[in-house]
Amino acid sequence: MAWRAARSLLVLQRQLQVAAPQAAPRGVGAGTLDASAWGLIGDAEHDPTSDHSPHDFPGWGNDIVTAADFPNAPALGLDAHQVLDDIRRSHDPRAKYGISNGKIFSNHDVWQGGVLYDAWSWRPYVTSSGGRPADGHYTHGHLSVVGDRRADGEQPWAINGTAGGGQEDEDDMGASFGPIEIQREGITSLTIPPVQAGLADPRPAWLNLCNATGDEPYRLRIWVSKGAPNVWEPLKGDGWVNGERTMRGGERVGVELGKGTGGLDIRRVPVGAEKAPYAGHLTLAIERGRVTG
């Protein structure tokens, strides 16, 4: 049977494998960690109703898997529980529920054992009868995504759970995600939770850029969207003129994003006689501060 995974799950796995290369799959028996820890489609032991099994979703598509596993391997740079806690605290609309370390969170309120657990809060992971399941997900994390087109969103996940994590389990703490490479030509489009614009994520945010090109400078152009259709405005900040700024080799630049910013249009601007974007490696990361409201 032909099947495919929701694209957001492939994005998550790529992010984790780049950030924690020692935990990346190396094939069964081929290394410290076998590839089964990075499962998408379920095996014969999975309930056919599991999100690991392909399902049809009216209005979206058929034979789509909406769950992914990834290792809990802090010694190899990947803390699955911290990754899921980052996703939980980001309230990413693509997330449905996550499981790790004998705990589960959901994107909606849940009654369990006579207790009402709020959406996005951890609760004990138990069977329908209230008992302890055979697999408490201590060796790996599980993320299920929603069963609609949102799950194909390919924007990066707001995770910081690699290299052993270390972020405190407090909803008012800051977080960051990235790095994200800026294409040499064309547009790099980035969607983020709107800055300071809702109960889901009311934090301020900063855009941080690091330029690893050669000695020759080039110009970078960034425009932002705050949700109005077909309305873009230039990024504002020190050194930015009409959304553009000159970038030099080894330079790091940070700028606070305006309230409501949810989309970024980023491109390298051709300069000089060659009229082509300079080669090299340019990355950005989004840093979010403490909750301010």
Per-residue pLDDT tens over the stretch 23-80: 887 644 334 455 557 888 866 556 778 899 999 999 999 999 999 999 988 888 889 9
Compute the Cα dihedral for 111, 116, 122, 123 and give only its sign: negative
Q: What is the CATH number of the domain that holds 269?
A: 2.60.120
Q: Is 162 part of any domain?
A: no
Q: Is 167 part of any domain?
A: no
The rounded distance, in Å, linking the Cα atoms of 20 and 219 is 32
The rounded distance, in Å, linking the Cα atoms of 19 and 143 is 18
| Over residues 93-120, mean pLDDT | 93
pLDDT single digits (tens) 66-103:
999 999 888 888 899 999 999 998 899 999 999 999 99
Q: Which residue has the higher pLDDT, 184 or 91?
A: 91
The rounded distance, in Å, linking the Cα atoms of 141 and 82 is 10
| Over residues 130-136, mean pLDDT | 79
Domain count, the chain: 2
| Over residues 221-240, mean pLDDT | 90
pLDDT of residue 272: 61
pLDDT of residue 32: 43
Question: pLDDT at residue 202 above 50?
Answer: yes
The rounded distance, in Å, linking the Cα atoms of 57 and 172 is 36
Tokens 């490479």: give the residue. Answer: 181
Structural domain boundaries enclosing 36? 4-152
Q: Is 62 part of any domain?
A: yes
| Over residues 270-281, mean pLDDT | 63
181 and 108 within one domain: no
64 and 148 within one domain: yes
Of 119, 152, 185, the position where a domain reaches its end is 152
Q: Is 208 part of any domain?
A: yes
pLDDT of residue 163: 41
4-34 core/surface letters (b: 16 or more CB in 10 A; e: else): ebbebbebbbebbbebbeebbbeeeeeeebe
Question: pLDDT at residue 166 above 50?
Answer: no
182 and 142 within one domain: no
Q: Which of 269, 261, 267 is nearest to 286 (CA)?
A: 261
Structural contact between residues 265 and 151, judged by C-beta atoms closer than 8 angstroms = no
Q: Is 120 part of any domain?
A: yes
Mean pLDDT rounded to a whole number for the chain: 81
Q: Which residue has the higher pLDDT, 8 or 160?
A: 8
pLDDT of residue 178: 64
114 and 196 within one domain: no
Question: pLDDT at residue 186 above 60?
Answer: yes
Q: Is 164 part of any domain?
A: no
186 and 86 within one domain: no
Tokens of 177: 């995600």
Structural contact between residues 266 and 222, judged by C-beta atoms closer than 8 angstroms = yes
105 and 206 within one domain: no
The rounded distance, in Å, linking the Cα atoms of 94 and 257 is 23
Entry field: residues in the chain: 293
Q: Is 163 part of any domain?
A: no
Question: pLDDT at residue 152 above 50?
Answer: yes
194 and 101 within one domain: no
134 and 19 within one domain: yes
191 and 112 within one domain: no
pTM: 0.56
280 and 200 within one domain: yes
Compute the Cα dihedral for 57, 59, 60, 66 and give only its sign: negative
Tokens of 133: 């399941």
Q: Is 83 helix (H, G, I), strand (E, B) or coil?
A: helix
| Over residues 258-270, mean pLDDT | 87
Among 99-108, 129-138, 276-285, the least confident range? 276-285
